[in-house]
Structure 1
Amino acid sequence: MDKLRTPDNRFNDLPGFDFPPNYLDVTDPDGGALRVHYLDEGPEDAAPVLVMHGEPSWCYLYRHMIPVLTGAGHRVLAPDLIGFGRSDKLAHRADYTYQRHVDWMLDWLDQTQAHNITLVCQDWGGLIGLRLLAARPDRFARLVVANTALPTGDQPMSPAFESWKEYSQTVPDFDAGRIVSGGTTSKLTDAEIAAYNAPFPDDSYKEGARQFPVLVPSTPDDPAAQANRDAWAVLRGLDIPVLTAFGADDKIMAGVDQVFQKLMPGAVGQDHCILQNAGHFLQEDVGPELGALTNAFIAKTAG
């Protein structure tokens, strides 16, 4: 398994991102090690808020939320998935599978020894984060679902997703920064767009980003379909509090919040919201607001 590591100097002087890096090694399927980067902010002894990014972003996505969460006394853990941010990248697309992504992050989570976790997940941060929750339910205290899903392939994907999938596989220049900006209502500055492109010095570093869209289970016999069904069997039985917070302008995930509200018992009676002036990457559009909603949700459901 050939791996690449983005040079550290590409992460110098990024706008709004003055957080020191942390690293843990996780085991890859061939017995080697891959480096996972993560942020660890706030009091070490506080219950952690685990914020998980998706495609094609990295933990830079949470820079507006982290000060709001730590300001309320919470510890924040913000990992970069393998293939993104400062985490290692694999040189060959075939080495990225859904199950491997779950296994890598489960190894990372176990090493952190974090408990009483509030999970905040968006996009692929949910496809992976919800699998972590199902695998280690005793480690989690509550869940914030933001513009994400846990598909099993038993329902057809939306036309908006199919269009995105086709675009991701055919566009000559997979420009992560432009893609993130296109998924916001506020739009990003040139410097912020460059920050989202920082992890990818050239196309050889983008194999994981290119592969993610085709790993979403879209048919009942997809390799990940049964594992996600099994995860749903666990999630349906959990009684931890669940809050949905979706962007009003996210066409891909429109309506999926209602799935969580219907299927997860802990969603009953919560202050679910549709955030106005927010697109798919709502952390960019309304990050401080989403942080404040998370703080209020933790306070409401604590102890």
Structure 2
Amino acid sequence: METLRTPDERFEGLVDWPFAPRYATLIDADRTPLRLHFVDEGPRDGPVVLLMHGEPSWAYLYRKVIANLAAQGRRVIAPDLIGFGRSDKPAARGDYTYERHVAWMSQWFALMDLSDVTLFCQDWGGLIGLRLVAAFPETFAGVVVANTGLPTGTGWTEGFRAWCDFSQRVPELPIGFILNGGSARDLSPGEIAAYEAPFPDERYKAGARQFPTLVPVTPEHASVAENQAAWKALEAFDKPFLTAFSDGDQVTRGGEAVFQARVPGAKGEPHVTLHGGHFLQEDSPDEIATLIDGMIARRVKGFA
């Protein structure tokens, strides 16, 4: 597998990004080593929060949430998926599959040796993060899902169909434009530049190009059976499970209903609708931090 690594200087001086890079080395099934980047902020003995980003963003999406929660004594961990951010990027689109991503992140998650984790996940951060919950349910103490899903081949929204068509047809994938368009507010030039930083040219965008085609929205897609199995695990997950979808996302609108209906831990939780576009982390970061912190506080109080 050929891999690309974004030069470190691309990440120097980014707006609102003071966090030191941390790395783990993963080994793919074909024995290729892959460097995965993650943020790990806050006290080592604090309650663990795992923030999972999606496509085509990276951990920068959570910069304000990280700072907020770390200041409140939470240990906040935010990885970059392989192909994104400061993580290594396989050069060929065919090197990206849903199951490969689950395997890569499962390997990293096991290496981290975490416990009592509170997960916040959005977009592909949910498609992959919820597979981690299904595989390691004993490790997770609570989950907050936003603008995501766990598809099993039963169809797609018109919003997702439009996004998929755009992502495959546009000659150059405009990462900053996508993040700005998917946020309710206008991002600053510095913020847009930070989202474009991982991708010096189109060669680095193989993962970003391929991800939309991997979502198992039809019975013919790969990973339908694996997601069906994951749903069986989620249907036994009785720890706190909160939905926090946004009011302005055409891609995942209404997706919270299936989680509220099928996950036992969702019963009685204070589900909310937050302000924002698809990338609601840009629009409601303080509200997201409050939700996560509140879930942890309720758990701690319950043990008191």
Instruction: String of CA shifts for 1:96-149, please: whole Å, max 9, x gaps.
Output: 000000000000000000111001000000000000110111111000001110
Tell me what 2:196 maps to: 197
Q: Using the alignment, how far apart are the partners of 1:254 and 1:225 within structure 2? A: 21
AA in 2 matched with 1:289: E
AA in 2 matched with 1:285: D
Tell me what 1:253 maps to: 252
Tell me what 1:184 maps to: 183
1:287 partnered with 2:302: no
- How far is 1:56 from its partner? 0.3
- How far is 1:47 from its partner? 2.3
AA in 2 matched with 1:73: G
Instruction: String of CA shifts for 1:6-33, please: whole Å, max 9, x gaps.
Output: 0000000000001000000011121121
Tell me what 1:173 maps to: 172
8 Å CA contact 2:47–2:296 kept in 1: the answer is: no
- How far is 1:218 from its partner? 1.4
AA in 1 matched with 2:293: N
Where 1:199 maps in the other structure, the secondary structure is coil
Tell me what 1:265 maps to: 264
Q: For this pair of structures, how many residues does the alignment match?
A: 301
- How far is 1:238 from its partner? 1.0
Where 2:171 maps in the other structure, the secondary structure is coil
Output the aligned Cα RMSD. Answer: 0.8
- How far is 1:251 from its partner? 1.1
- How far is 1:45 from its partner? 1.4
Within 5 Å, which residues of 2 pair with 1:1-303?
A: 1-153=1-153, 155-276=154-275, 278-302=276-300, 303=303
Where 2:148 maps in the other structure, the secondary structure is coil
Q: Using the alignment, how far apart are the partners of 2:115 and 2:143 within structure 1? A: 13
- How far is 1:292 from its partner? 1.1
- How far is 1:175 from its partner? 1.1
Q: Using the alignment, how far apart are the partners of 1:275 and 1:219 within structure 2? A: 29
Q: Using the alignment, how far apart are the partners of 1:47 and 1:300 within structure 2? A: 12
Q: Using the alignment, how far apart are the partners of 1:47 and 1:113 within structure 2? A: 14
- How far is 1:181 from its partner? 0.6
- How far is 1:158 from its partner? 0.5
Where 1:34 maps in the other structure, the secondary structure is strand
- Identity of matched residues, %: 52
In structure 2, the gaps of 5 or more residues are: none
Where 1:64 maps in the other structure, the secondary structure is helix
Report the TM-score when normalising by structure 1.
0.98
Where 1:51 maps in the other structure, the secondary structure is strand
- How far is 1:67 from its partner? 1.6
Instruction: String of CA shifts for 1:258-286, please: whole Å, max 9, x gaps.
Output: 1111110011111100113x111010011
Q: Using the alignment, how far apart are the partners of 1:300 and 1:244 within structure 2? A: 16
- How far is 1:301 from its partner? 2.9
In structure 1, the gaps of 5 or more residues are: none
